[in-house]
Amino acid sequence: MYPGLVIVSNRLPVSVKKTDGKLEFYPSIGGLATGLSTYTSNKRNRWIGWPGIANEDINEDERRTITKELKKHNCYPVFLSQKELDGFYNGFANSVLWPLLHDLTPNKEAAADESFWRAYKRVNQAFGEVVLSLSTSGTTIWVHDYQLMLLPSMLRVQRPHDKIGFFLHIPFPSSKIFANAPHGAELLGGLAGADLLGFHTTSYVQNFLSCCQHFDIGTVGPKELILPDRVIRVTDFPMGIDYAKFVRATKQAAVRRELLKLRTKYRGKKVIVSVDRMDVTKGIVPRLDAYRAFLEQNPQFHRKVVLVMIAIPSRTDTDAYKKLRKQIDDLVHDIEDKFGTARWKPIEYITTPLSFTQLSPYFQLADIALVTPIRDGMNLVAKEYIASQGNQDGILVLSKTAGAAEELKQAIIVDPTKRSSLVSGIKEAMLLPQDELRERVSAMQDHISEFTVQEWASNFMGTLKKPVKTPHMTRSLSPSHQRMLVDSFRRAQKRLLLLDYDGVLAPFRSNPYKAGPSPKVLKVLRKLAKLP
């Protein structure tokens, strides 16, 4: 049995697919897989997750082959049926939780479909069974993201003495939004099985604690959730990138060759780059609309600018994706028809996944990166672009609702929901003086070179391993003692009540200035004060 660190996420850093009946293994795409694989590459940790292929698409021999091959990478699969994937992943996780946690309205049918919720619970249980089978008591377990919000409490029941951490890679909404979450109390209770809960920003931490207070999960303290038997740390850990990897890329021969080709192709033009998955939260449609408005309002930039929009299809079997794809395609064609000429293509639309060697030259080439999600937990593309600026001659236009905006304050910050803000942000970036640009980029590079993905993981694990204070166990008065206390209080001619404030008269708040007694408490105090 393995007593060390076990990482658990929906997807493994290595995925499997079948092409012409043959199994193929390839690196998974995404910030989580990329970031954590960097951290674990030189450490012998175990990573548990779904391998990317449904049970129906493989036979028993192939299943054994997958398990054997993944083990070479310290990866261990959780095999799922297509029905489980439809209910757990496409259903509850991505049609309910994903939009809800991004402050958007979930699919009503999905939110009301209890079979999706049952699938979500069942798959979380399946992950838990694999974790327990591959580890022993005393293991440190690090669970990741919204697909596995119930897993910490499931593990806690079986392993009360294990160190369990959970990190959410997407935003956490306000209590006003989360109050409408189907099974909200159960989801929060699932997270309450952890010893440490990590979020990208302090605002997400505050939102989570506010929700715990709303659902009466426990007593809320500054960056902690106090349960009767233990204290859960709730802290912000802004995720970084492998900064050195992007710096090294600026010197790699293969990357430099691609960069030279791109410079020749776009000679004489300002290049704007944007890189996203096709998802409504990424703000691609408002961004294209703003680019069109920018060209309409600024004819002096015609034939002098090009937007390289890299938008990778994601969750392609959903109606939401099909609707979004049509909107994007229509806008791209409209921009091309309205402004394009025989000698100028105002937009380059790329929908095929690019390797690191293919993507890095675009980051190095671009004069402007347009990173304008409607809502994003962090957005590592913003940091990757800045890390790629070897000559410090490209500027970042960043959404104020991306988690990265709390760190990269020298970027040009815009409101992704307002066309005028996006248009003015693009124009400001186009006209930014070179000395100011380099000053801004230098400051951002200093920050992200210090707070890397390695530092992020190290900080999280270091905090998880620290001893946690245990709250004093409360003792309830027996019925006889309660009667005696009430009788003595009634007979007394003089009474003195000594009451604590935080946690007694008023609930704990992350901001103590916002703590105050409820109307119900004030009413009781007034009644007590009027007693003879």
* Secondary structure (3-state) at 83: helix
- Give the three-state DSSP class for 11: strand
**Euclidean distance between CA atoms 167 and 94, whole angstroms:** 18
For 333, 437, 484, the CA distances from 411, given in Å and listed in that order, are: 30, 9, 66
Q: Could you list the active site residues? A: 169, 376
In 75-223, which ranges are E strands? Answer: 75-77, 140-144, 163-167, 196-199, 219-221
CA-nearest of 484, 291, 309, 456 to 383 is 456
Q: CA-CA distance, 10 to 331, in Å (whole number)? A: 33
| Beta-carbon count within 10 A of 300 CB | 8
Residue 258's nearest CA partner among 117, 138, 107, 363 is 363
Q: How many residues does the chain have?
A: 532
Amino acid identity of residue 54, one-letter, is: A
Q: CB-side exposure of 29: number of CA atoms within 13 Å?
A: 13
- Written as one letter, the residue type at 176 is K
Do 138 and 104 meet the contact criterion of CB atoms below 8 Å apart? no
- What is the CB neighbour count within 10 angstroms for residue 83? 13
With beta carbons less than 8 A apart as the criterion, state whether 134 and 46 touch.
yes
Contact 252, 357 (CB under 8 A): yes
CA distance 102 to 172: 7
The backbone region for 196, taken as left when phi is positive above 0, alpha when psi lies in -120 to 50, beta otherwise, is beta
Task: Kindly list the distances between the CA atom of residue 464 and the CA atoms of 123, 140, 378, 431, in Å, as whole numbers in the listed order.
Answer: 25, 9, 21, 46
**3-state class of 377 per DSSP?**
coil
Cα of first residue to Cα of last residue in the chain, in angstroms, is: 68
Q: Which residue has the tokens 């990478």?
A: 73
Amino acid present at 305: V
**Structure tokens given for 343:** 């000698």
